[in-house]
């Protein structure tokens, strides 16, 4: 009995301590999942296609714009800051040699959306691809949020996605033209998350909008899908969500893939989802998270137990089983 208690105490003590072995294991895992950043789809597969990307001047939006432009699309990038858009458009044009067109748009303002889409239609016609990527988020205890803070996030994320989709969707229906819509969500839209509650609520609405319209507007030749990314480092988002850098380190430690995602990896997935190669795929939310979602299982924490500790626990379990049988 005493030896069993000693074994149990050793296991519990081990479980309470930070595990260097777990960190080493994660580092080894990362080398098994290297990022492939070159375009996945064939060159020119988006020739004669126009893509409109909200939040296209920076971060994930910029990455998706570059990927589609590399693959032959004419890309229209939209956001509130025209100076940022113009700089990005010129940079991408120099890189891809295809036209990237900046248009100022505040997704919270239906009139601004109308004007921006009018400009896009006059230049290039109705888009073949719409990526709702504009987002806003910050970390905060929910009790500290003001009504204005709540409204700001929901207006950008949920209302902005709805306004853009409705404006373009109605024009497409009238013109008898199909389109591929893609929304950028987040893994915690499905589960909820503390400290980012306005974003979680708004993104959940975006996912429901995606699924609902995939059923209703398929008759008009429109597909709707979403990507729910895990942690992918972008300068703007991480400055608001991880100002100390602690989240990044913890995320890498907890991800089965043992590394953050890369922008081009998401851009490759996005390109596939808005391409003709995925024409039978609609109404889906794709978790793209390095295993974050599945790593939350109740017993996944046992990854930090070493073989020696497993031997100890197996001995305890066997002893317990024999004791139970002796009582029968």
Q: Is 54 helix (H, G, I), strand (E, B) or coil?
A: strand
Question: Is 220 a known active-site residue?
Answer: no
- Continuous segment of H or E residues that includes residue 113: helix 110-124
Say how far apart CA 169 and CA 179 lie, in whole Å.
9
Q: Are the beta carbons of 39 and 67 closer than 8 angstroms?
A: yes
**CA proximity to 241, closest of 139, 88, 164:** 139
Q: How far apart are CA 150 and CA 236, in angstroms?
A: 19
Instruction: Tell me the CA end-to-end span of the chain in Å, nearest whole number.
Output: 20
Residue with tokens 């990927």: 67
Question: Residue 190 corresponds to which tokens in the numbers above?
Answer: 């499905």
Number of H helices, E strands in the chain: 13, 7
Residue whose C-alpha is closest to residue 18's, from 322, 320, 301 = 301
Q: What does the angle CA 220 – CA 223 – CA 229 come to, to the nearest 5 degrees?
A: 160
Q: What is the DSSP string of 262-322?
A: -HHHHHHHHHHHTSGGGTT--S-EEEESTTTTGGG-TTGGGGG--HHHHHHHHHHHHHHHH
- Do residues 79 and 57 lie in contact, with contact meaning Cβ atoms separated by under 8 Å? yes
- Selecting among 163, 188, 272, 277, the annotated active-site residue is 188
Per-residue buried b or exposed e for 61-88, using 16+ beta carbons within 10 Å of the residue's own CB = bbbbbbbbbbbbbbbbbbbbeeebbeeb
- Residue with the two structure tokens 């994320």: 157
Helix residue ranges per DSSP H, 19-81? 20-30, 59-70
Which residue has 């070159």 as its token pair? Answer: 38
Query: Which residues have a catalytic role annotated?
Result: 188
């Amino acid at each position: 009995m005493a030896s069993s208690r000693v074994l149990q105490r050793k296991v519990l003590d081990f479980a309470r301590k930070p595990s260097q072995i777990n960190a080493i294991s994660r580092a080894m895992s990362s080398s098994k999942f290297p990022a492939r950043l070159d375009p996945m789809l064939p060159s020119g597969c988006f020739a004669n296609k126009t893509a409109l990307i909200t939040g296209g001047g920076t971060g994930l939006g910029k990455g998706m714009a570059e990927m589609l432009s590399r693959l032959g699309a004419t890309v229209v990038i939209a956001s509130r800051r025209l100076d940022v858009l113009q700089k990005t458009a010129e940079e991408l044009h120099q890189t891809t040699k295809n036209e990237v067109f900046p248009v100022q748009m505040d997704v919270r303002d239906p009139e601004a959306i109308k004007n921006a889409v009018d400009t896009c239609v006059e230049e290039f016609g109705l888009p073949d691809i719409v990526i709702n990527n504009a987002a806003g988020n910050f970390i905060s205890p929910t009790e500290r949020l003001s009504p204005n803070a709540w409204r700001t996030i929901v207006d950008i994320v949920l209302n902005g996605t709805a306004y853009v989709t409705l404006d373009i969707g109605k024009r497409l229906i009238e013109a008898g033209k199909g389109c591929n819509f893609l929304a950028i969500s987040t893994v915690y839209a499905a589960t909820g998350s503390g400290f980012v509650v306005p974003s979680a609520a708004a993104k959940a609405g975006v996912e429901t909008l995606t699924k609902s319209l995939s059923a209703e507007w398929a008759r008009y030749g429109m597909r709707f899908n979403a990507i729910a990314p895990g942690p992918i480092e972008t300068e703007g988002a991480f400055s608001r969500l991880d100002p100390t850098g602690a989240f990044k380190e913890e995320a890498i430690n907890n991800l089965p893939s043992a590394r953050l995602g890369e922008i081009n990896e998401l851009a490759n997935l996005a390109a596939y989802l808005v391409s003709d190669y995925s024409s039978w795929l609609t109404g889906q939310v794709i978790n793209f998270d390095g295993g974050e979602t599945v790593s939350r299982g109740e017993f996944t924490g046992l990854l930090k137990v070493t073989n020696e500790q497993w031997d100890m626990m197996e001995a305890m379990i066997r002893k317990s089983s024999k004791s139970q049988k002796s009582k029968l």
